[in-house]
Structure 1
Amino acid sequence: MAAMEDGDDDDKLETEHFLRIVNAFRFYRSHSLMRVESADRYYKELSDDHKALIPDFRANLDLIRTSIDHNYEIIKLILQDTEHMFENKSHGLQNGGDNIKQIPPTTFDMDKVKTTLKQFVRDWSEDGRAERDACYRPIMQEIVHRFPASECDPSSVYVLVPGAGLGRLAFEIANLGYSCQGNEWSLFMLFASNFVLNKCKHVNSFTMYPWVHQWSNHTCRADQTRPISFPDIETTSISPTVNFSMAAGDFLEVYTEPDSWDCVATVFFIDTAHNIIAYVETMYKIIKPGGCWINLGPLLYHYADLANESSIELSYEELKHVITTIGFVIEKEEVDVKSTYTQNTKSMLQYQYHSVFFVARKPS
Structure 2
Amino acid sequence: MDDKEVNSDEERQEREHFIRIINAFRFYRTHSLKRVKNAEKYFSELPEEHQSMVPTFLENLRLLRTCIDHNYEVIKLILKDSDCMFENKNHGLPEGQTAPKKIPPTAFDMDKVKTTLKQFMRDWSEAGADEREACYGPVMREIKRLYSSDKCDASSVNILVPGAGLGRLAFELAKSGYSCQGNEWSLFMLFASNFVLNKCSEVNSFRLYPWVHQWTNLKHTSDQTVEIKFPDINPTDLAPNTNFSMAAGDFLEVYTDPEAWDCVATVFFIDTAHNIIAYIERIFKILKPGGHWINLGPLLFHYADMANETSIELSYEEVRKVVVRMGFQIEKEEQDVKTTYTQNPESMLQYNYCSVFFVARKPV
Q: Same fold (TM over 0.5)?
A: yes
Q: Which residue number in structure 2 is paired with residue 152 of structure 1?
A: 152
Following superposition, the deviation at residue 307 of structure 1 comes to: 1.1
Following superposition, the deviation at residue 93 of structure 1 comes to: 6.3
Q: Which residue number in structure 1 is paired with residue 200 of structure 2?
A: 200
Question: What do the CA deviations read for 1:168-215 (whole angstroms, capped 9, x no partner)?
Answer: 000000010000000000000000000000111100000100000000
Which amino acid counterpart does residue 77 of structure 2 have in structure 1?
A: L
Following superposition, the deviation at residue 100 of structure 1 comes to: 6.2
Q: Which residue number in structure 1 is paired with residue 133 of structure 2?
A: 133
1:8 aligns with 2:8: yes
CA distance in 1, matches of 2:335, 2:110: 34
- Preserved CA contact (<8 Å) 1:124 1:231: yes
Q: Which residue number in structure 2 is paired with residue 320 of structure 1?
A: 320
CA distance in 1, matches of 2:294, 2:195: 28
Structure 1 residue ranges without an equivalent (≥5): none
Q: Which residue number in structure 1 is paired with residue 300 of structure 2?
A: 300
Q: Which residue number in structure 1 is paired with residue 247 of structure 2?
A: 247
Q: Which residue number in structure 1 is paired with residue 213 of structure 2?
A: 213
Q: Which residue number in structure 2 is paired with residue 355 of structure 1?
A: 355
Which amino acid counterpart does residue 80 of structure 1 have in structure 2?
A: K
CA distance in 2, matches of 1:56, 1:154: 56
SS, match of residue 132 in structure 2: helix
Which amino acid counterpart does residue 123 of structure 1 have in structure 2?
A: D
Question: What do the CA deviations read for 1:233-270 (whole angstroms, capped 9, x no partner)?
Answer: 11111112010000000000000000000000000000
Q: TM-score, normalised by structure 1?
A: 0.98
Question: What do the CA deviations read for 1:130-180 (whole angstroms, capped 9, x no partner)?
Answer: 000000011011111011112211110000000000000000000100000
CA distance in 2, matches of 1:151, 1:316: 32
SS, match of residue 53 in structure 1: coil
Instruction: Give the stretch that moved more between structures: 178-187 or 233-242.
Output: 233-242
Instruction: Tell me: CA distance 1:209–1:93, structure 2 relative to 1, closer, same or farther (3 Å).
Output: farther
- Preserved CA contact (<8 Å) 1:207 1:230: yes
Q: Which residue number in structure 2 is paired with residue 27 of structure 1?
A: 27
- Preserved CA contact (<8 Å) 1:295 1:357: yes
Which amino acid counterpart does residue 218 of structure 2 have in structure 1?
A: H
Following superposition, the deviation at residue 29 of structure 1 comes to: 0.2
Following superposition, the deviation at residue 99 of structure 1 comes to: 5.3
Following superposition, the deviation at residue 311 of structure 1 comes to: 0.7
Following superposition, the deviation at residue 7 of structure 1 comes to: 0.3
Q: Which residue number in structure 2 is paired with residue 104 of structure 1?
A: 104
- Preserved CA contact (<8 Å) 1:83 1:93: no
CA distance in 2, matches of 1:162, 1:54: 48
Question: What do the CA deviations read for 1:7-39 (whole angstroms, capped 9, x no partner)?
Answer: 000000000000000000000000100000000
Following superposition, the deviation at residue 88 of structure 1 comes to: 3.5
Q: Which residue number in structure 2 is paired with residue 310 of structure 1?
A: 310
Q: Which residue number in structure 1 is paired with residue 169 of structure 2?
A: 169
Question: What do the CA deviations read for 1:51-88 (whole angstroms, capped 9, x no partner)?
Answer: 11011000000000000000000000000021111123
- Name the % identity: 68
Report the count of equivalent residues. Answer: 361
Which amino acid counterpart does residue 227 of structure 1 have in structure 2?
A: E
Question: What do the CA deviations read for 1:75-109 (whole angstroms, capped 9, x no partner)?
Answer: 00000021111123222269xxx956321111100
- Preserved CA contact (<8 Å) 1:93 1:100: no
Which amino acid counterpart does residue 319 of structure 1 have in structure 2?
A: V
CA distance in 1, matches of 2:207, 2:250: 31
- Preserved CA contact (<8 Å) 1:162 1:269: yes
Question: What do the CA deviations read for 1:287-324 (whole angstroms, capped 9, x no partner)?
Answer: 00000000000000101111111111111110110000
CA distance in 2, matches of 1:339, 1:24: 29
- Preserved CA contact (<8 Å) 1:23 1:102: yes
Following superposition, the deviation at residue 274 of structure 1 comes to: 0.4
Q: TM-score, normalised by structure 2?
A: 0.98
Q: Which residue number in structure 2 is paired with residue 183 of structure 1?
A: 183
Which amino acid counterpart does residue 337 of structure 1 have in structure 2?
A: V
Structure 2 residue ranges without an equivalent (≥5): none
